[in-house]
C-alpha cells in the first residue's frame, strides 16, 4: 500500500520510531478532541499508517474495524477501547493474561 507519509518519518513518528496505540494517541488533543466520535476520527485518519511492530504497518481503518465503541468520553476510554480492539484483531503479540489464560500466561 502507498502510505500518505512514511510511518517512520517525521510526520509518522515525530523523528523516532513509535508503535501502535502511541501513534494513534498522538493524533489527539486530550483537552480539545473529547468526547471523540469514532467515525469522524476514522474518516479523517483512515489511510494513515500505524506501525505495529518492527516489520508490520497497518492503516488506522484496519485497527478500527475492531473498535466497538461509537464514542470515547476521555483519552483513557480511547486507550482502553482501542487497546482491546488491537488485541481482538491480533495486532498485538502481548496479552496481559496471555492469549489463552487457562494454559499460557503473559
The tens-digit pLDDT sequence of the chain (106 residues) is 665 656 666 655 555 556 778 888 888 999 999 999 999 999 999 998 888 887 788 999 999 999 999 999 999 999 999 999 998 998 886 656 655 655 545 4
In a domain, 30, yes or no: yes
In a domain, 51, yes or no: yes
Cβ-based neighbour number of residue 104 at 10 Å: 10
Domain of residue 66 covers 10-88
* Residue 42: Cβ-neighbour burial (10 angstroms; 0-12, 13-18, 19+): middle
Q: How many structural domains comprise the chain?
A: 1
The pLDDT assigned to 53 comes to 80
The pLDDT assigned to 94 comes to 62
In a domain, 1, yes or no: no
Q: What is the pTM of this model?
A: 0.74
The pLDDT assigned to 51 comes to 85
Amino acid at each position: 500500500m502507498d502510505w500518505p507519509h512514511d510511518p517512520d518519518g517525521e510526520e509518522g513518528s515525530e523523528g523516532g520510531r513509535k508503535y501502535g496505540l502511541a501513534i494513534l494517541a498522538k493524533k489527539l488533543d486530550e483537552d480539545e478532541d473529547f468526547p471523540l466520535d469514532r467515525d469522524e476520527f476514522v474518516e479523517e485518519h483512515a489511510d494513515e499508517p500505524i506501525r505495529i511492530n518492527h516489520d508490520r504497518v497497518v492503516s488506522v481503518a484496519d485497527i478500527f474495524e475492531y473498535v466497538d465503541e461509537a464514542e470515547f468520553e476521555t483519552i483513557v476510554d480511547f486507550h482502553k477501547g482501542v487497546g482491546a480492539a488491537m488485541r481482538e484483531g491480533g495486532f498485538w503479540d502481548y496479552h496481559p493474561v496471555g492469549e489463552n489464560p487457562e494454559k499460557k500466561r503473559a
